[in-house]
């Protein structure tokens, strides 16, 4: 799935201090000019809730940690990243 990498060219680390190892010019990406539509209140408050805290815990008096839960209760999914196949061509 990976596009073939370029041949190993030891170029970037030869640059002196303060010079970009990969410059903006290298990537052809100058600063953009912002186009702002503002205000755009697309996301008004949906709901407001009051949330009760649990009683505080004091680690200085808490017993020894129980590490047995850690491996059992880790969210071990595949990465929840965007599927490239779901990408569309247009931003808007």
Partner 1 sequence: MRAHGSPARLVGAVLVLACWGCGFEGLSQSESGGVRPPDTQIAAGHTQIMEAVNLRLRIIPRSGGSAVDRSIFDIIHPGCNTTGGAISDPRLHYDTFSSRFFFVVLHAPAGTSTPGAWCLSVSATSDALGTWYRYRIAMPNAPNSSGTLVPAFPDYPGLGVGEDKVVLTGNPASGGFLLYAAHSTIAALNKSQVLAGVTVSVNYFTGPYDTSKLFLLQPANVLDATSTGNVHSFGVNAAAANPSTLRRYRVSGIPPSSTVQMTAISFTGNWKAPLFARQPDSATNGYLDALDGRVLHAVFRDGKITLVACVACDNSTRTCIRVVRLDGATITAFYNFGNQAKDYFFPAVTVDAALNQLIVFNASSDSEPASVYITGRRPTDPPQTLRTPRLVKAGIGSYWDGRCSRPCNCIFGNCNRWGDYSGVAVDAANQLDSWAAAEYPIGLNTWGTWIEFLNHNNFPQ
Which of the residues 31 through 50 are near partner 1 (CB under 8 A)? 31-50
Q: Which of residues 57-76 bind partner 1 (CB under 8 A)?
A: 57-60, 62-67, 69-71, 73-76
Nearest-approach distance from CB 55 to partner 1, in angstroms = 8
Tokens of 2: 């990976």
Q: Which residue has the tokens 């929840």?
A: 80
Min dist CB 33 to partner 1, Å, is 7
13 Cβ contact list (under 8 Å, min separation 6): 21
Which has the closest alpha carbon to 21: 31, 11, 29?
Answer: 11
State the number of binding residues for partner 1 (CB under 8 A).
Answer: 86
């Amino acid at each position: 799935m990976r596009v073939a990498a370029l041949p190993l060219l030891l170029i970037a680390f030869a640059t002196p201090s303060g010079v970009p190892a990969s410059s903006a010019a290298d990537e052809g990406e100058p600063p953009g000019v912002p186009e702002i539509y503002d205000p755009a209140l697309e996301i008004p408050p949906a709901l407001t809730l009051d949330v009760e805290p649990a009683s505080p815990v004091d680690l200085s008096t808490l017993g020894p940690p129980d590490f047995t839960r850690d491996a059992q209760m880790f969210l071990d999914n595949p990465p929840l990243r965007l599927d490239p196949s779901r990408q569309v061509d247009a931003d808007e």
